[in-house]
Each structure stands twice: as structure tokens, then as C-alpha cells.
Amino acid sequence: MPAESTPQLEKYELLEEIGHGGMATVYRARDKRLERDVAVKIIHRHLRENQEVAARFVSEARAVAKVKHPNIVEVYDVSEQDDDERYLVVELVGGTTLRKHLQVHGHMPAEVAAALCIEVAAGLEHAHHQGIIHRDVKPENVLVELVPSVSSRRPSQGRASEPGAARVKITDFGIAKLLDVQGVTSTGQVLGSPAHMAPEQIEGGDVSERSDVFGLGVLLYECAVGKLPFEGKNPAQVLRRVLDGTYTPADRARPTVGASWSKIIDKALARDAADRYATAGEFAEALRDQFQVVGFDDPQGELAAYLADPAQYTKGYEDRIVKRLSECARLARKQRATLLAGAHFNRALAFRPNDVQLLAELTGLRRFEMLKRILVRVGAIAAGSLVLGSAAFAITRAIRARDATREALSLAGSAAEAVRGAAPQTEARPEKTALPSEPERKAGRVAGATHRSTPKPTRSVRVTVDPIT
């Protein structure tokens, strides 16, 4: 920069510009008193007179100054109210931003991207415990650096040097917000990058640590796939897709990511905050669990090895991951976990689509799964037949019992009728008649003989018994 355009600070000597954003310009500087290199972020001159922006800038300093964590850039100093410039002095981190790294090297292997996000999640979780939400988690605000180890600086003859340690730090809490303080932006202004913002942040709703989980999910997707999940021709389209939750799953956008990693990303990118991981720590734990599944036991070591030489790491990574995925798939198949075995085989084939051995094993797995489904269906039909047979037997017995009951009731009805015919319910009283005379009695003997020879007439009664239904 031209010397005349470089701000002049009393306590710090600005050496060179190392970054430029919408809110401030970052310089590498020298602390004149402590004689150490620092980073100085100076707010743009056209913004420093804005009371809202100035208050947010001070809020950044006060919020982050109390946060001490290896994955967060440390704040050293802040400008005074009467200073000509409004600035923030922070720890100077070597290396580069994650954005620049992706621009140079492209997407990362899924395991490396996950290892990096574990580091970012650790810093976010610590900030959340302090009541601070970052609100703008994106590659521009993540710094990556490889710190050489002692053996790397002085490698022994005949022995490969160790890659050193990876250092990942979150920076730019300039739009961070204290949960226990009223927001500085009372105008309803949307703060943050549209493609990385959670839906509730866009809608002006309650922003919580789950909002940073969403941003971390976007970060993991971009690192592993090589592009953003929510894209559009303009910011309005991007915002609409974020609000609708419309994106291509990671394993479809890049099949080598695999279904397991993609499932973790999907949960972090859930439209409703309640459906995401509750905390950044919970998200990191899910990533660690998946590392164990694929047999990568040292996420930090994987990240360091990658940063030391991305091209060389990627070259050897394919052989390692395909071998490990094949082993996991065979183990899952042995345990009858066919869906998991299929997922491992499919991801391995994404790296090597023409591998005959992998194709044969996946085909055999599909045939086994098809046979299992057929056997399950046959078993269901057989079980259904047994149930139907038992039901038919029970129904037949019930019908026979009903018929027997009807027959018994019919016989009982006939017996009752016979009893009623032998002993009628109403007894007839004899009529009183005059005593016959002697001649009549004589004539009556003959008539009586005739009367006895004539049978007494009977009366039939029909009784109807309704059948039992």
C-alpha cells in the first residue's frame, strides 16, 4: 500500500496488509512495547462514524477478550475512545485462511474435512459456553497453519520428518452477539454471509448455538464436496434455498464422500433448528464416531499430514480408504448388516468404479439381500397361512357348536310342546245338567255304549321355535 494511505498508530507499527473484509482491514504489525508481531484490524473509515458499527466493534473486543481457547484467535488490545482509529489487536496466526487453501487445492478428502471441523467445533463450543455466538462461520474466518515439529525442522538422516501439528483457529467475531445482551443491530439488518447463515438468522429469529452448528455443516459440506450446498445466481436465490432447505446431499454431489458422512452433514443442515445437533460438541462427537468406523484413529494427525503436503496425502489416501472400506463392508456383511455393508462398498466403488472385485462383492451382497427379502416374504406368507388355517379351524368348530345348539334347542322345543299337549295350562269346568229320567237312563245305556265306541275329538296346536342365529 502507499505509505500515505497506511494508518498511523502510536503503539503499533503497521508492516503490511494481510486481509481485507467488509468491515475492516487487517495488518501484520509490530507491538512496539512487547516487541512481538501481532495482527491489527482497523475498521474502515467510512464505517467508524456509524454508532451502531462502532458499538459492535467494541462488543467484539469485550466478548472475545474473555475467551481463551487454542482454536480461537486471542484478543490482545482494543483502541481507546479518543483514538483517531478504531482498531483491534489480536494474535497473529501464520498459514492462511481456509478459503485461500480451498482455492489453491480444491476440496479435501472427507476425513480431512471432518478433522478440520472437529477443531472448529471445539472453539465454537467454548465460545458458546461463554455466551457468544459467532454467526458467520465460513472459510474466510478459519485460519489453518502447520506448526513444524522439532524432527521436521531437523530431520535425522534416513528418517522421514514428522509433519508437525495442525493449528486451526476461528477469527472475526466482529458480528458475534452476547446472549445476555440486547443486540446492537436494532434495525433488523441481516449480518453474515447468505450461503452460510442459518434459516432462523435470515428470518430474524432467535439465534443460538444451533445456528453456528448450521454454519459448521455448510463449512464441512464445502470442504468435502468442493462447492456450497446452497447456491444461486444472486443472494436472493441463495437465501430462498436456505429457507427452503433445498440442496443436493453431499454423497450425491460427490459420491466419494459416502453416505455416512453425508448423513451427519444433513443433520447439521436441518431446516428446523430443533432437528440439528444441539451443540457443536455433539456435532464433533458424531464426527469422531464416524472416524472410528472407518478406522482413522487420529483426526489431528490426518489433518496435519494433509496440510504438510495435500497432493501427496491425497495420492496415498485413496488406497487407504478403499482398503479400509472393503474391510468394514466385509465385517458388516458377516454380521448380517447388509445396508451398512452396501454403503461401504458403494463408497469404495466411487473411488474405483471399475474394480472387478468390489463389483462382484457388491453384486453378491445385493443378491443376498434380495434372497433375504424373498425368504422374509415367504415366511410372512407361511405365517399368514398358519394364522388363516387356525382361524378356519376355529370358525368350523364355532359353526358346529352353533348347529349343535340349534338342534338341542329344537329338541327341547318339541319336548316342551309334548308336555303342553299332555297337560294343558287351563282346566275346563264340567257343565251342570239335569239328572235323566229312568226311561232316559235306559235309553242312555245303549247310547252310552255308542258314545264310548266313538273317539273323543282332539285339537292340534302349532308351536314355532325361532332358530338361534
What percentage of residues in the chain have a pLDDT greater than 90? 43
How far apart, in whole angstroms, are the C-alpha atoms of residue 17 and residue 6?
A: 9
CB of 166 closer than 8 Å to CB of 304: yes
Residue 253 — very low, low, confident or very high, per pLDDT cuts 50/70/90? very high
- Greater pLDDT, 1 or 106: 106
Q: Per residue in 343-378, is it b (16+ CB within 10 Å) or e — as a string? A: bbbbbbbbbeeebeebeebbeebeeeeeeeeeeeee
pLDDT of residue 458: 52
Mean pLDDT value across the chain = 78
With a cut of 60, say whether residue 384 has pLDDT above it.
no
Residue-level pLDDT at 370 = 56
Radius of gyration of the chain measured on its C-alpha atoms: 45
**pLDDT(138) > 80:** yes
- For position 239, what pLDDT does the model report? 92
Q: Does pLDDT of 187 surpass 60? A: no
pLDDT at residue 30 greater than cutoff 90: yes
pLDDT at position 186 over 70: no
Active-site pick, 17, 85, 162, 369: 162
What pLDDT, on the 0 to 100 scale, is given for residue 67?
Answer: 86
Which of 171-175, 266-270, 337-341, 435-439 has the weakest average pLDDT?
Answer: 435-439
Q: What is the pLDDT of residue 428?
A: 40
Q: Provide mean pLDDT across the span 5-18.
A: 89
Active-site residue 162, yes or no?
Answer: yes
More confident residue, 179 or 403: 403
| pLDDT (average), residues 265-270 | 98
Q: What pLDDT band is residue 66 in, cutting at 50, 70 and 90?
A: confident
Give pLDDT, residue 436: 52
Share of the chain above pLDDT 70, in %: 68
At 327 the pLDDT is 92
Q: What is the pLDDT of residue 148?
A: 78
**Quick one: average pLDDT of 388-403?**
58
> Would you tell me the crossing angle of helices 310-334 and 110-129 to the nearest 10 degrees?
90
Query: How far, in whole angstroms, is CA 327 from its chain's centroid?
Result: 26
Residue 268 has pLDDT above 80, yes or no: yes
Min mean pLDDT across 263-272, 274-283, 369-378 is at 369-378
In this predicted model, which residue has the larger pLDDT, 332 or 386? Answer: 332
Over residues 295-320, the mean pLDDT reads: 92
Across residues 177-205, what is the average pLDDT?
63
Q: Residues 83-129: pLDDT tens digits?
A: 788 888 999 998 899 999 999 999 999 999 999 999 999 999 999 99
The pLDDT, as a whole number, for residue 413 is 54
Check pLDDT > 80 for residue 340: yes
Mean pLDDT of 143-164: 58
Give the pLDDT confidence score for residue 152 in this predicted structure. 45
User: Does the pTM exceed 0.95?
Assistant: no
Least confident of 25-39, 49-63, 401-415: 401-415
How confident is the model at residue 401, as a pLDDT? Answer: 59
